[in-house]
Structure 1
Amino acid sequence: MTAIIPSASMPGVQSPRLGSLPPLSLYIHIPWCMKKCPYCDFNSHEVRGGNVNMPEAEYVTALIRDLETALPQVWGRSVTSVFFGGGTPSLFSARSIDAILTAVRALLPLEHFAEVTLEANPGTFEVKKFADFRAAGINRLSIGIQSFNPRHLQSLGRIHDGSEAHRAIEIARENFDNVNLDLMYALPHQTMEEAQSDIETAAACGVTHISAYHLTLEPNTLFHRYPPPLPDNDLSAEMQIMIEQTLAQGGYLNYETSAFAQPGRESRHNMNYWLFGDYLGIGAGAHSKISFADRIVRQMRYKQPRDYLAKTSPDMTAFDSPIMEQHEVERNDRGFEFMMNALRLTGGFAPEMFMERTGLSIDSIQQQLDEAERRHLITRDYQRIAPTLTGRRFLNDLLQIFLPE
C-alpha cells in the first residue's frame, strides 16, 4: 500500500500554489551491472551466470507498463530530456533501448532535439552495438571511466583497464558528438600527480563534458564497512583546485560543483534536476519529483527488481502499484530542497525562479540569504543569487543555513 498524498483542498492543509509547472524530464533505471563496485550505493545488482538473472525482455515490458500507469500524473506535459541510468544500461541490447524509446515517443510528447543520455561502462563497449544505440535515438553517452590508472581501477573494482577505457572513448566519439566522462579523485593511495594525469588524459580526449567526483564513503557499501586509506582533506582540496584549473585551461566551464562542459554542452537533464525541475522516474528504485498546481510530490519505486516486476506484471491488480513510497514536499521543505540543488550551480539562479519552482516568495528565505551573504558564502543582486568561491568550497556549511527549523 502507498501513502495517501494530502491535497491542498483538504481541511487544514495550506500549500503554496505554482503559477506554472516546471520542465519535465524522464529517468529510466536499469539496475543490473557486471560487478558491484565497492564504493557504489546506487540501486544496482550484479549479473551472475550470464543473463540468467537479468530478465531483459520482461523488464522492458515492465518499464512500459510503469510509464503507462504514470501518465495521469504528467498528462499533456512534454519531456525535455531522457536519461538511462543504472546499474549499467549498456548491458541491455540496442533493440531493448529502441523498444523503450519507441514507447516513450508514443506515450509522451518528446521535445524535438531532446537530450537522450545512456550510461555505459568501458567493459560493455562493442562497435556495432553502440552504433545501434545511436540509431535507436540515444544522442548523448556518459561513460564511467573513473580512472585511467590500472592500480586505481583495480582498487575501485572496475572491470576495465586503461586501454579499454581509451578504446571505449574512441568508439563513443565515432558514434556520438556529445560524450561525458565520469572520473573520480581522492582515491585510495592516490597522489596529486596521479590525479593530475587522470584529468589531463580526460581533457585530451576532446569530449564535450567531464564529471569529476570526490570519492565518498557511502553507507551500505564495502568501502564504508572496510574503509581504504584515502588522501587527507588538504590533499583532496588541492586535487579539486587542480582539476578546476586544468579543465578551465582546456576550455571547460565548471558550471556545477562536479560538472565541467564545453560551452553550450551542459547536461540539460542534470540542469533540470539542479533547478528544481520535475522528473518522472520509472524502473526499480527510481525516484520522481512531480509538481501539480497545489502540491509537489516525491515518489520511489520498489527497489528490488523482483518486487518491481511483480508490481508491474500484466496480472497486476487495480490495488497494486510500482510506487513503494510517496509523500508531499511540505511548505517548509520546499525552500531548502530548491537551495540544496540550485546552490550547486556556480552561476546560481535568478530570484524569480525560486518562486516559479516552489510557489514561495524569495522573502520567505530572506533571513537565511542575509546570513549567507554576511558569511560571504553567496553573492546576490536583483538578477542572480550565486555561491561565492568560499560558498562552493564549503557547500555543506552554506546549505546548513537553509535547513528548515
Structure 2
Amino acid sequence: MIVCLKSTLTVSIRAICIALFAWQFYLMTQNFQEFNVRKEKTHYIPNEIELPEIRIKVPYQFALDPVILQTKYKSRFDEVCRQFSVKNDCDGHLTNPLIFSKYFGPYLRLSDIANHSYAPEMFIRRLKMAGSKEDPLKTGKCKLISEASSWCLVLILRCLDSSGLPLKVSRSEAIVSNANYLISFKLNATVMLLNLIYPEKALVEDDSLYAYSSLTPGKQISHGIGFTKHTENLLPSPYKTMCKDYNRRQTFEDCLNANSIDQTGLLFPETTVSLEKYIQTSEIRFNAMFNENNGTLLEIYKQCQSLVIQPMCSSVQYSFKMSKTVEDVSKGEESLVLHLKVSSESDSLIESVAEFPLHDYLILSGSLISSWFGISIMGQLLVASNLFCLKAARKSTAVSENQNESQVNSD
C-alpha cells in the first residue's frame, strides 16, 4: 500500500513539475520570439564636433558658362526666359532663377554640364577652419566636388579624416580661437540652396532640409549656421525595427536612374548623379518632370520606393538654423559668406534596445531548468515526498507490530 502510494505520488509530482516547467518555458520562449524593442533617447553635448557634408545647389544659369546657353541652347533659353522673366534681356539675371532652372535644366546634357560648368574652386576658393591656419582644401582634409541634378549644379564640400569618417573639430578650440566658428568660407554664387548631411548616411527625404539664400546688389550677406546632429541606431531583423545596413538614398536614386534610362533613355528628375559616371554618354540628360511621360516615371518611383521601405540601421539627420547679417559693400564686391558655428543646443542619440535579448533568454532558460530539475523545486518536493512516505511507512510498521504483539498475548 505504502509502496504504491509512494510511486503514485512521485509520478504525480514529476508530471506536475514537468507540465509547469513546459508552460513557463513556452511563455518565456514566446516572449523572446516577439523580438520587441524599446527606444532610449540620450541628449548630449559633444566635446568634438563632426563636420557634416555641406551640399550647395546653384541654379544652372549661374553655374554654367553663358556662352553655351546662348549658342547651343539659345532657342530653349530664350523660350524659358520669355516665359518666366519680366526682363527683355535674357543675358541678365532672371527674376525666377529656381523656376527657370526647373524648366530649362532637364534639356542640358551631362557632357555639356561637365565641360561648361564653372569649376568648384570658382565658387569656394578658400576655407578657414578652427584651430588651423592652413586651408583644409590645400592640405586635403576637405574636398570640393560637383555633381549634377536636373535643375542645378550641386557643390559638395566633404571633410574626412584618414579613416574616412567626418573630420572632428574641438568645441573649445572653435570657441576660443575662431569666434565660435567651426568652418567659414565665401561662396561666389548669386543664388544657392544649402543642406547638411552625414557622409554615406543621407536620408531619402533630405530635400526638405534645404535653406535658400540669394545675393543682393551692393550687399555682403553673412549666414551663421548652427546645427545639431540627430542619430538613430536600430536593430536588424528579426527585431521589429527591421532595419537594413545600406545607403538608402544611393540605393533609391540608383534604382530610379537605372529604370528611367532603361525605359525612357533619360535620367530620373530630382536625382543627383556624378558627372564622371555619365560624361562618356554625350546625349544623356535628365527627364523633365512636367511632361507626357510622367505616368512611366510614377511607376518607376513606386517600384524603387518599395526597395527602400526598410529604415537604415544607422541614420543621421541634421537640424540647422541659418541666421542672416547684411553689410553694405562697393558695387561688384557682393558676396555670400557662410559660417558653420558651434551650437549651444545638444545633439541626440536614439538607440533601439531589445526588451528581451538573447543572453537574458539563455540565462533565464538555464535558471528555469535548474530550478525545476536541479536541487530546487522538484528536488525538494521529491525529498518531501520521500520523507512523508518514510514517516507513513514507519507508522504503518509500528501499527502492524502492535497488532502482532496483541495477538500473541491473547493466545
Scaled to the shorter chain, the TM-score interval is: under 0.3
Whose relative contact order is higher, 1 or 2, with alpha carbons under 8 Å and at least 6 apart?
Answer: 2
TM-score (norm 1): 0.24
Q: Higher strand share goes to which structure?
A: 2
TM-score (norm 2): 0.24
Structure of larger gyration radius: 2
